[in-house]
């Protein structure tokens, strides 16, 4: 049961939500970053950030939940580096929490084959070539760094044309 909230748009019980079940089952009291969702009333995307609370005996004591704007998960400084570059947070479940190109949101909640994506990045890196995006055909030098504590990958892909402009 929800005990307190700063919003009136919160259900009274969240026990059936998948993210809640995952956080409750986890022994870790750190942050858990959930799957993005579209608020049916406001039509705005948000990403749930959960923290498990433990009782003194180590048992489950509840959660603290904040719904975060996906734009807040990616620094504006990173997004502004190059107009056709991409910065995103990809879950190890294959679901993007947020993905930005320049200042325009490309997507929230899109699915991606993580293993295939990581393989394409490794092959391109080993060949010293950019990865060509299947979404927009743009060639980018890409990197994805795993953040296992959060079950995420930080993805940065710099537009190859911009990155190589000084050499042209």
Residue 151 and residue 78 in contact, taking contact as beta carbons nearer than 8 Å? no
Q: What is the pLDDT of residue 75?
A: 65
* Dist CA 113 CA 74 (whole Å): 21
- Nearest residue to 35 via CA among 155, 154, 157, 151: 151
120-150 pLDDT, tens per residue?
A: 999 999 999 998 887 778 899 999 999 988 8
Structure tokens at 117: 């994506």
Cα angle, residue 96 at apex, residues 93 and 41 outer, rounded to 5°? 110
pLDDT over 60 (residue 79): no
Q: How many angstroms from the chain centroid is the CA of residue 15?
A: 23
Residue 5 is predicted with a pLDDT of: 65
Q: How far apart are CA 12 and CA 41, in angstroms?
A: 16
Q: What is the pLDDT of residue 82?
A: 63
CA 21 to chain centre: 19
Which pair of structure tokens corresponds to residue 94? 């294959």
pLDDT at 112 over 70: yes
Residue 74 has pLDDT above 80, yes or no: no
Mean pLDDT of 28-53: 82
pLDDT band per the 50, 70, 90 thresholds, residue 76: low
Given a cut of 70, whether residue 96 has pLDDT beyond it is: yes
Q: How many helices (H) and strands (E) does the chain have?
A: 4, 10
């Amino acid at each position: 049961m929800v005990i307190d909230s700063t919003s009136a748009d919160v259900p009274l019980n969240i026990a059936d939500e998948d993210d809640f079940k995952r956080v409750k089952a986890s022994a870790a009291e750190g942050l858990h970053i959930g799957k993005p969702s579209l608020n049916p009333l406001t039509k705005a995307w948000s990403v749930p950030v959960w923290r498990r609370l433990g009782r003194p005996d180590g048992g489950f004591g509840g959660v603290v939940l904040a719904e975060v704007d996906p734009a807040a998960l990616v620094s504006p400084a990173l997004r502004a580096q190059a107009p056709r570059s991409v910065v995103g947070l990809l879950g190890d479940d294959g679901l993007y929490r947020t993905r930005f190109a320049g200042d325009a949101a490309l997507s929230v909640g899109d699915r991606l084959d993580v293993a295939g994506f990581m393989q394409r990045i490794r092959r391109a890196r080993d060949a010293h070539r950019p990865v060509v995006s299947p979404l927009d055909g743009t060639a980018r030098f890409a990197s994805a760094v795993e953040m296992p504590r959060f079950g995420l990958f930080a993805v940065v892909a710099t537009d190859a044309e911009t990155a190589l402009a000084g050499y042209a």
